[in-house]
């Protein structure tokens, strides 16, 4: 093997190790599994009609990343039932913008959120109603 090739192979191996270390840094005994919920969410006894519609849309479009009940999903996306997303910090406009334009990663390390197609403004308003009702019973006002 010539020297250049050798260095190339070595670099590839090192990159592989670095990738492995950074990607598995959270694992080990006791670490939450990929796909697990990130926060405990209490559900309202009853959702308003609007929020029930929103829940369906949320489950169809957002839950892949934000988890069931918006409790977050390890390795995929953050919980929206979280103080960061209280109405005074992320108002309803932030939800519309997120869906329309996507979100650049800034609070978490999941990467960017892509824009979500195929939802009307009314769909997003129902989703917001759902998230806010669940937030409220979890003390996020």
Cα gap 123→102, rounded to integer Å: 16
Judged by CB under 6 A, the chain residues 89 through 108 that form the site for ligand HEC are: 90, 94-95, 98-99, 103, 105-108
Among 31, 35, 49, 64, binds ligand HEC (CB under 6 A): 64
Q: Considering the complex, state which of residue 17 and residue 112 has its C-beta at the smaller distance from ligand HEC.
A: 112
Nearest to 66 by CA among 21, 99, 89: 99
74 binding ligand HEC? (CB under 6 A): no
The least CB distance from residue 101 to ligand HEC, in Å, is 10
Q: Would you give the binding string for ligand HEC spanning residues 14-53, x where CB under 6 A is met?
A: ----------------------------------------
Among 54, 67, 72, 77, contact with ligand HEC (rule: CB under 6 A): 77
Q: Which pairs with CB-CB distance under 8 Å and at least 24 residues apart come from 39-46?
A: 39/71, 39/72, 39/79, 39/81, 39/82, 40/71, 41/69, 41/70, 41/71, 41/79, 41/81, 41/134, 41/138, 42/137, 42/138, 43/69, 43/134, 43/137, 44/133, 44/134, 44/136, 44/137
Contacts to ligand HEC by CB under 6 A: 61-62, 64-66, 77-78, 90, 94-95, 98-99, 103, 105-108, 110-111, 113-114, 116, 119, 127
């Amino acid at each position: 093997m010539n020297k250049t090739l050798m260095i190339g192979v070595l670099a590839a191996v090192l990159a592989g190790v670095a990738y492995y270390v950074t990607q598995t840094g959270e694992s080990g005994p006791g670490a939450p599994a990929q796909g697990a919920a990130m926060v405990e969410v209490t559900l309202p006894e009853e959702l308003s009609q609007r929020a029930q519609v929103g829940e369906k849309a949320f489950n169809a479009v957002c839950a892949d990343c934000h988890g069931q009940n918006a409790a977050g999903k390890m390795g995929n996306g953050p919980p929206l039932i979280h103080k960061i997303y209280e109405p005074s910090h992320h108002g309803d406009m932030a939800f519309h913008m997120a869906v329309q334009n996507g979100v650049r990663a800034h609070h978490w390390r999941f990467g960017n959120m892509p824009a979500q197609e195929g939802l009307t403004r009314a769909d997003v308003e129902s989703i917001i109603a759902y998230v806010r009702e669940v937030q409220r019973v979890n003390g996020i006002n």
